Amino acid sequence: MSEISRFNPMGRFTGLAEIYARCRPGYPDAAIEFIAIHCGLRPGSLLVDVGSGTGIASRLFAGRGIRVVGIEPNPEMRAEAEATGVPAGVPRPTYVAGRGEATGRESASADVVLAAQSFHWFEADAALAEFHRILKPAGWVALMWNDHDADDRFTKAFDELILALPDAAAAELLRRPAGEVLFGSPLFERVECRRFPNEQLLDEEAFIGRAFSASYAPREAAAATSYEAALRRLFVQYENRGRVALRYSTVVYVGRAVLD
């Protein structure tokens, strides 16, 4: 069993689709703009969003007139994405079953392959080979995450609560260096990394929902009750006018496919 497969990446979000869609942060306009311009996306371009979850990133790119196909293995997450509407005139993303290592897409069909908050759940080398296969010649890959901003006192205190949970520290260790693999891949060139500030303003119930949207949040009743109580104490300690601000550093890795 591989290091990643033992985390059950397809099944670990089962039961979380609604709270994930409602409480997870989006991505800053500056990050979406950077990917769109740097990777040459235009209205009608095809972006394949791999590990698309509930469609948070898919809809942001669709809002720019870009055709989006979301690849998502978890049927509950995929159904939540499909059920979420888009504004009039925006091309509706299409969501299909698939994995990072086996998207099911045609070779040389995508202008950009995106993995937003998902690449760390893939077998990196196999996924990058699959991305390269489905990209058009000299197409681009973009890997994006909302990293917690450890320089912010409240966000750091929230991290400390998270890392005390079983499985959380191991999952975070899996995620944090994941994008760096792109720099060493022989399949991609002109690799670079950019960071953008991001923020999520939350009232108490939204903050509790954000915490429980994580795949490693406790689900057994006693542990969940204890965790919720700790979260509410943290909220009271840091709230200002009934809200807290979770601060993120949105990190984006981009690379251009090497021509075969």
Q: What pLDDT, in 10s, does the model give residues 166-185?
A: 877 777 766 777 899 999 99
Q: What is the pLDDT of residue 1?
A: 40
For 215, the 3-state DSSP assignment is coil
Mean pLDDT (the chain, rounded):
94
| 162 touches 214 (CB < 8 A) | yes
Instruction: Give me the domains of the chain, ranges plus CATH numbers.
Output: 5-148+168-199+249-257 (3.40.50.150)
Beta bridge partners of residue 71, listed in sequence order: 50, 96
The pLDDT tens digits of the residues spanning 180-203 come to: 999 999 999 999 999 999 999 999
Q: What is the pLDDT of residue 171?
A: 72
Q: What is the pLDDT of residue 2?
A: 56
pLDDT cut 70: percent of the chain above it: 95
The pLDDT tens digits of the residues spanning 210-241 come to: 999 998 899 999 999 999 999 999 999 999 99
Confidence at 138, pLDDT banded by 50, 70, 90: very high
The pLDDT tens digits of the residues spanning 42-98 come to: 999 999 999 999 999 999 999 999 999 999 999 999 999 999 999 999 999 999 999
